[in-house]
Amino acid sequence: MLAHSNFKTSYLAGKGHSPANLPSMRRCSQPPTTVSKKEDATESPTMKRCKQAKSKAEPNTLGDMEDINFSTEEIPDIRASLLKWYDENQRDLPWRRISKNGDNGGISVEERERKAYAVWVSEVMLQQTRVQTVIDYYNRWMEKWPSIHHLAKADIEEVNELWAGLGYYRRARFLLEGAKMIVEDKTEFPKTVSSLRKVKGIGDYTAGAVASIAFNETVPVVDGNVIRVIARLKAVSSNPKDSKTVKNFWKLAGRLVDPSRPGDFNQALMELGATICTPLGPNCSTCPISHQCHALLLSAKDKSVQVTDYPMKVVKAKQRHDFSAVSVVEIVEGDESQSDSRFLLVKRPDKGLLAGLWEFPSVLLEGEIDLASRRKAIDNFLKQSFGLDIRKSCKIVSREEVGEYVHVFSHIRLKMCIELLILNLKGGKTCMQRMQESATLTWKYVDGDALSSLGLTSGVRKVSTMVEKFKQNRSNFVPAKRRKRQKEKTANEMEC
């Protein structure tokens, strides 16, 4: 862990603040310095809000984050201000259109479960993905699987296909497995955090969102937005990635949740973080709870402090650099110009990165190695995985380097060296059958059209596009020798 949860020893990363010059929580709660009449006359709205904060906020004590809390005066004020703001400003999002909260009386069990399903799907999609991107995916998903019962009948191939491009495919698999689990149990939709947590793939965050938004359970929801808002409200400079600190954020968020409208309150807090209290450019002048914000108070008192100093910036773990050789294997029956060529796709193992997804044959390399070694690695892979000896059982029509592509995952930077390997299987169908028998991996071969319609990951689609462009450029280019031959042929024909 990078820092401590103790205010005495924590510091603001990236700003060069040391514990000695960091305004401590005690400093935040010190009585306001006397403001002269002159200063008062020119007082900015920010200073006014800060003075309000000083007068309203309960003094924080110097110590561990466990000691920080919202006072009994702060809580009703924050709840009322946030809910009022949310009622007037909430974004119109498709998953919010299903029976608004507060309809407790009239809403049927089916409708509530439909809402729970919608919240579940949207919250899972929204993890690591922007709202604007999610809307399209959500609408397509709901069109295809409008209820949990429809989803439970789907298979992973269809789900991956619809999810293609959203990334973090494990989330899609868990959604499917969770839906199957709930439907197979033949019980009602789990309504509480404790029952939701038993469903595969549902963690604290999703359980809190579904239970509070769909079933009005008074429980908090803590995501990056909530952590940021609370860290600023309370000027918490502890490491937000530290598990103990995160636990305390859950405790603080739990204190704040409004029992009369828990779902709306949680959404309001997240919405504030997403739209006003943003990581780099918070719009404090329009913030409905700025009068309760300690970070704003500190920044007004000390120009070297900014609200964006909270929460503490954590240095990201260094990305791993991986290298792979990717071979786009195209199998043709005659020569390369035949239109009925097929591409070989391999299914990744069921565990690990991009589990169970389709990709072109590829080999993870020890490091950046030369072309000959990459080809050797691919040849071995094809032989071991499919019994395909490209020199004995095939005619190599062509083998060319297409280029390089770097795909960035959250913790890995994968550099792929891509080749296009066009093969003509000498034994034709018999050879295919032999491949089927000796294959140690699941594979299929598909035509070019299927490649563009299949739900392939964005990395595989990128490789496919690169190969497509490469082939187009190559067909536009007629080598000088061939041009000369064509010229001579035309001349001869004319003479005849």
Positions annotated as catalytic residues are 123
The nearest distance, CB 39 to ligand SF4, in angstroms, is 21
23 binds ligand SF4 (CB under 6 A): no
Residue from 196, 307, 329, 416 touching ligand SF4 (CB under 6 A): that is 307
| Contacts for 158-163: CB closer than 8 Å, 24+ residues apart | 158/455, 160/356, 160/357, 160/455, 161/454, 161/455, 162/137, 162/455, 163/137, 163/455
Residue from 164, 202, 296, 422 touching ligand SF4 (CB under 6 A): that is 296
| Tokens linked to 429 | 């169908």
The nearest distance, CB 14 to ligand SF4, in angstroms, is 17
- Measured from the CB atom, the residue of 48 and 347 that comes closer to ligand SF4 is 48
Pick the stretch among 94-102, 284-292, 355-363, 404-412 that binds ligand SF4 (CB under 6 A): 284-292
Amino acid occupying residue 469 = K
Gap between the Cα atoms of 400 and 330, Å rounded: 12
Residue from 78, 151, 284, 397 touching ligand SF4 (CB under 6 A): that is 284
233 binds ligand SF4 (CB under 6 A): yes
Gap between the Cα atoms of 182 and 242, Å rounded: 33
287 binds ligand SF4 (CB under 6 A): yes
**Subset of residues 311 to 330 that bind ligand SF4, contact rule: CB under 6 A:** none
Residue from 68, 268, 295, 377 touching ligand SF4 (CB under 6 A): that is 295
The backbone torsions φ and ψ at residue 91, rounded to the nearest 5 degrees and listed phi first, read: -75, 145
The nearest distance, CB 278 to ligand SF4, in angstroms, is 8
| Tokens linked to 74 | 């702060």
Gap between the Cα atoms of 110 and 113, Å rounded: 5
The nearest distance, CB 303 to ligand SF4, in angstroms, is 16
- Measured from the CB atom, the residue of 232 and 471 that comes closer to ligand SF4 is 232
Of the chain, the end-to-end C-alpha distance in Å amounts to: 84
Q: Which residues contact 349 (CB under 8 A, 6 or more apart)?
A: 355, 356
**Subset of residues 260 to 279 that bind ligand SF4, contact rule: CB under 6 A:** 276-277
Residue from 290, 341, 362, 393 touching ligand SF4 (CB under 6 A): that is 290
DSSP state of 67: G
> What does the buried/exposed string (b/e) look like for 41-74 if buried means 16 or more CB atoms within 10 Å of the residue's CB?
eeeeeebebbbebbeebeebeeebbeebbbeeeb
Pick the stretch among 94-102, 175-183, 287-295, 463-471 that binds ligand SF4 (CB under 6 A): 287-295
Pick the stretch among 25-33, 289-297, 464-472, 488-496 that binds ligand SF4 (CB under 6 A): 289-297
Gap between the Cα atoms of 49 and 28, Å rounded: 14
Pick the stretch among 226-234, 331-339, 367-375, 484-492 that binds ligand SF4 (CB under 6 A): 226-234
- Measured from the CB atom, the residue of 201 and 288 that comes closer to ligand SF4 is 288
The nearest distance, CB 358 to ligand SF4, in angstroms, is 44
293 binds ligand SF4 (CB under 6 A): yes
3 binds ligand SF4 (CB under 6 A): no
Gap between the Cα atoms of 173 and 346, Å rounded: 18
Q: Give the SS3 label for residue 371.
A: helix
Number of residues written out for the chain: 496
Site of interaction with ligand SF4 (CB under 6 A): 229, 232-233, 276-277, 282, 284, 287, 289-290, 293, 295-296, 307
